């Protein structure tokens, strides 16, 4: 296995379908605004917040809150290096169990 190939590892945090989608969106998009994630997943604010809390507690995402001039704050979400590694390992695990 090369240094670029992640070790296959099941990750229960990443495995939940909506969290897997969140991580995949962040892996493709870099820093993504909360509303974009919410619309992309077609979930409520509360549902997305719950998943982001779980991912944050695992150290897989970072949240950055930006206060706008008119008082409305926006939250930006990024995948951490730890989260990226977990996602890649989970994808490798899924590929390892897929029929050939």
What are 12-60's pLDDT values in tens digits?
999 999 999 999 999 998 899 999 999 999 999 999 999 999 999 999 9
Q: Looking at domain 12-97, which of 3.30.750.200, 3.50.50.60, 1.10.10.10, 2.40.30.20 is its CATH number?
A: 1.10.10.10
The model carries a pTM of 0.89
Return the SS3 of 43: coil
| Neighbour tally for 83: CB within 10 Å | 24
């Amino acid at each position: 296995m090369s240094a670029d190939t992640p070790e296959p590892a099941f990750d229960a945090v990443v495995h939940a379908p909506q969290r897997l989608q969140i991580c995949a969106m962040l892996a493709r998009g870099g820093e993504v605004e909360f509303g974009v994630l919410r619309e992309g997943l077609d979930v409520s604010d509360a549902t997305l917040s719950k998943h982001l809390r779980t991912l944050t507690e695992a150290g897989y995402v970072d949240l950055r809150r930006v206060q706008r001039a008119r008082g409305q704050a926006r939250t930006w979400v990024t995948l951490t290096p730890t989260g990226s590694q977990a996602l890649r390992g989970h994808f490798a695990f899924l590929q390892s169990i897929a029929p050939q």
